[in-house]
Amino acid sequence: MPSDLVNLQDKIEFHFSDLSILDRALTHRSFNQEHNERLEFLGDSILGLVVSEALWRDNPEATEGELSRMRANLVNRDTLADIAQEIDLGSYLRMGSGERKSGGKRRKSILADATEALIAAVYLDGGLEQSRKLVKDLLGSRLSRRITRGNEKDSKTRLQELLQSSGLALPQYQVIDTSGEAHDQTFTVTCLCALIDKPVRGEGKSKRLAEQNAASQVLENLANP
């Protein structure tokens, strides 16, 4: 067994009976046709199930909308890429030379997909309980933190409710710039509402996150004029 695969299995505290499943989970489509995309699909569903179940059990007072927001904050590309970096998953990935030379082992989308594929591989080799343990171990304090703070509303919702309570129009968001390569873009969004004199900017790796950051900045400006 390659020593690097032993190290990875030690990190995730699960050792495979069938290493071919792990091999496929670590194979990008640029390497060969036995790649991990089907495992990504399965892993995404398992991840969603485990996180949804944990949030549902530990937040009995939360509404459907609040649970959905909590899950979205946990099950997303940025979080999964961060997890991959924590276990150095990129160094175990197999990919074509072109993808590797262009920085594929550090690309967030590839790292996030590989994390999902790894979760699926553990499920196929060890069953649901093992994959549930893996998800909870990988998320670690993130899951506890989201559960503890679960009833907090996101910035866009809080700003919207603030305006509605005053009988004012809803905020307007506009994308003013998109930079970076197609696989790793950064969006700049402005937020304008009746409570501020000029638009406030926010940036993020998605339009949704950029809007949240802009709304958060508006709320901070209002709290600290």
- Start-to-end C-alpha separation, the chain: 61
Alpha-carbon distance 16 to 122, whole Å? 8
The answer to whether residue 10 is catalytic is no
The answer to whether residue 116 is catalytic is yes
Active site residue: 40, 44, 113, 125, which one?
A: 44
Active site residue: 40, 66, 113, 116, which one?
A: 116
CA 207, chain centre distance (Å): 14
**Could you tell me the two tokens for 103?**
């920085």
- Cα 85 to Cα 106, 211, 218: the distances in Å are 8, 26, 32
**Could you tell me the two tokens for 81?**
């890429």
Catalytically active residues are: 44, 116
